[in-house]
Structures are given as structure tokens and as C-alpha cells.
Amino acid sequence: MNDVDIRMLRIAYDEAKAGFDEGGCPIGSVLARGGEVVAQGRNQRVQKGDPIAHGEMDALRKAGRQKSYRDTTLYTSLSPCMMCTGTIIQFGIPRVVIGENRNFGGNEDFLRSKGVEVIVADDPDCIALMQRFIREKPDLWAEDIAE
């Protein structure tokens, strides 16, 4: 990870924390190009009543139409689910930086098998926030991961 990665992952964490503070699932994301934020977002499933409003999807929606994603990096506070993983592959996003995959993971190898560079930061703030959420709102967490 470089300085840009650290800065962008902090923005993703801040989005996750804002989502948690709103009563939602604490997952934040940033789409960046050349070290600049294109868009940032957070899981809005609870806030908007939208089952596919995951953090990565919110950031991509806010980014609007892009001619290409091949020069972008997607930062996410938590390892992406299969829906978001599929979107990363579909859009050809070449690089993903994941805050943590201890609380939820499993798609990193699939992303790599499709040529995506995957970096897992093992960020202590991302880990702690998700652990707190799972402990305090286990039903909401189960709903978010469709269990």
C-alpha cells in the first residue's frame, strides 16, 4: 500500500462509520482515479430500503457514467460480496484495496483469478467497526449477507 491507498481507505472507513452512525451497515467505498476521488459512498440498504445499495454500488452510482474504469482503483472497507465482486469484474476495475476480510471475505481469490489486483490492508479500524456492528446488530448483519 502507498500513501494514496492509505488516504483513500481512510475515506472509505469514514463512509462506513457514517453509515454505522445512521443506523445502517458500516461498509464504505471509494472509486479513485490517479489518486483523486471520483466518488465515494456507503452501504445504504437500511437508509434507502434498497437491498442492492451496498457500499461499492453506492460509490459506483455516484460516479455516474464512466467511459472506462480500467484506470481506477476501488477501495472498500470490507471484502466485497459476490454481487459487488461481479460488478468489479463487469466494469473491468483492475485494482481493489480491501480494508479487512476477517469478518467477511472469500471473493479475493475469485477477483484475482479474473486478473484483478487485490490488496487486503487488514486495517484495525475497519476490523473493529465491523466487529462492533456484528456484535450490536447481528440480525441486520445476517440480513445484509442474506443469511
For residue 143, what pLDDT is reported?
A: 85
Answer whether residue 86 shows pLDDT above 80: yes
Over the range 58-77, which residues count as b (16 or more CB within 10 Å of their CB) and which as e?
bbbeebeebeebeebbbbbb
Identify the active-site residue in 15, 36, 56, 143: 56
CATH number 3.40.140.10 given to 3-145: yes
Domain boundaries, the chain: 3-145
- Within 25-79, strands assigned E span 28-33, 36-42, 72-76
**Nearest-angstrom CA–CA distance, 64 and 81:** 21
Higher-confidence position of 66 and 147? 66
**Nearest-angstrom CA–CA distance, 25 and 41:** 12
Sheet of 72-76, strand order? 36-42, 28-33, 72-76, 95-98, 117-120
pLDDT digits (tens, 9 = 90+) for 20-37: 999 999 999 999 999 999
For residue 142, what pLDDT is reported?
A: 86
Question: What is the arithmetic mean of pLDDT over 56-70?
Answer: 97
* Beta-carbon contacts of residue 89 (< 8 Å; ≥ 6 apart): 111, 114, 116
Q: Is 22 a catalytic residue?
A: no
pLDDT digits (tens, 9 = 90+) for 93-146: 999 999 999 999 879 999 999 999 999 999 999 999 999 999 999 999 888 777
**Nearest-angstrom CA–CA distance, 4 and 7:** 5
Calculate the average pLDDT of the chain: 96
For residue 105, what pLDDT is reported?
A: 84
Considering only CA atoms, which of 82, 119, 123 is closest in space to residue 100?
123
